[in-house]
Amino acid sequence: MDDTNTDVIQGTLDMLILKTLSLQPLHGFGIARRIEQISRAVFKVNPGSLLTALRRLERAGSLDAEWRQTANSRRAKYYMLTRAGRKQLESETSDWSRRTAAVARLLNAEG
C-alpha cells in the first residue's frame, strides 16, 4: 500500500457529506463511494468517522434519516438534507472558498 494521504482534510467532512447529499438522498456507503469517486480517490472516507459524522449532523438538524427497503429487500438508512442543512452547506461552502482563495493567494505570492 502506498503512503499517499487519503484522509479527508480536517473539518471538511461535514461539508463533503452535505454537498454529496444536496444532489440526492443516499445511504452511508453511498456517500462514501460518491466522495471517493468525485474526488477521484483523493479522499477515502473511514466508515467509523462517516457514520459518527452522520449521527452528529442528524442530531444537529442538518440531516434527516429514513429507513428504506433496498432492491434485495434489506433495510438501509438513507440520509437527506434538511433546510437547515442546506443553509449550513451554503455558509460552509462560501467560508471554504474564502479561505482556500486566501491560502492560494499566500502560496502564489511572489518572494
Partner 1 sequence: MSLWRQLTRGLRTLTHRAAADQDDADEVQHYFDQAAASHMARGLSSGDARRAARHGAGNLTTVREAVRGYGWENAIDTVLGDVRYALRRLRGSPGFTITTVLTLAVGIGATTAIFGAVNPILFEALPYPEPGRLVMLSDHDGAGARIDVTFGTYRELVMRSRSFTALAVAKPWQPTITGRVEPERPDGQRVSASYFRVLGAVPLLGRDFDPADDRPQGSNVVIVSDGFWRRRFGGDRDIIGRQITLDGDGYTVIGVMPPGFASVLAPAAELWSLLQYDASLPSFQDPARHDSREWGHHLTMVGRLLSAASVDRATRDVAQIARTTVPEFVRPEWASLTGGLIVHPLQQDVTSIVKPSLLAMAGAVLLVLMIACVNVTNLLLARAAQRRGELAMRAALGAGRSRIVRQLLTESVLLAAIGGALGLVVAELGVRTLVALSPPELPRAGAIRIDGAVLAFAVGVTTLVGLVVGLLPALYGIRSDLHSGLRRTSPPAGGGQRAARGILVVAEVALALVLLVSAGLLLRSLERLVAVPPGFDASGLLTMQVQVSGRQYDDGNARYRFVAKALDAVRQVPGVASAAFTSQLPLSGDVDGYGVRLEANRRGDDAGDGSALRYAVSPNYVQAMGVRLRRGRLLDEHDAAGHPVAVVVSESFARRNFPGADPIGQRLRFGPDTSWETIVGVVGDVKQTSLATGETDAVYVTTSQWLWVDARLSLVVRATGDPAAVISAVKAAIWSVDKDLPIVQVTTMNALVARSAAGRRFALAVFEAFGFVALALAAIGLYGVVSGSVTERLREIGVRTALGASPSDILGAVLRQGMTFTALGVVIGLLGATVASRAIATLLFDVSPLDPISYAGVVAVLISVSAIACWVPARRAAGGDPLIALRTD
Residues binding partner 1 (CB under 8 A): 27-30, 32-33, 44, 46-48, 51-52, 55-56, 58-61, 67, 74-77, 84
Least gap, CB of 74 to partner 1 (angstroms): 7
Least gap, CB of 102 to partner 1 (angstroms): 30
Please say which residue, 41 or 102, places its beta carbon nearer to partner 1: 41
Please say which residue, 19 or 62, places its beta carbon nearer to partner 1: 62
Cell of 61: 438538524
**What distance in Å separates the CA atoms of residue 24 and residue 21, rounded to the nearest whole number?**
5
Least gap, CB of 85 to partner 1 (angstroms): 11
Please say which residue, 15 or 54, places its beta carbon nearer to partner 1: 54
Cα–Cα nearest to 79, from 9, 12, 32: 32
Q: Which residues contact 12 (CB under 8 A, 6 or more apart)?
A: 96
Least gap, CB of 59 to partner 1 (angstroms): 6
Cα–Cα nearest to 57, from 18, 96, 25: 18
**What distance in Å separates the CA atoms of residue 40 and residue 104, rounded to the nearest whole number?**
21
Q: Do residues 63 and 79 touch, judged by C-beta distance below 8 A?
A: yes
Please say which residue, 74 or 105, places its beta carbon nearer to partner 1: 74
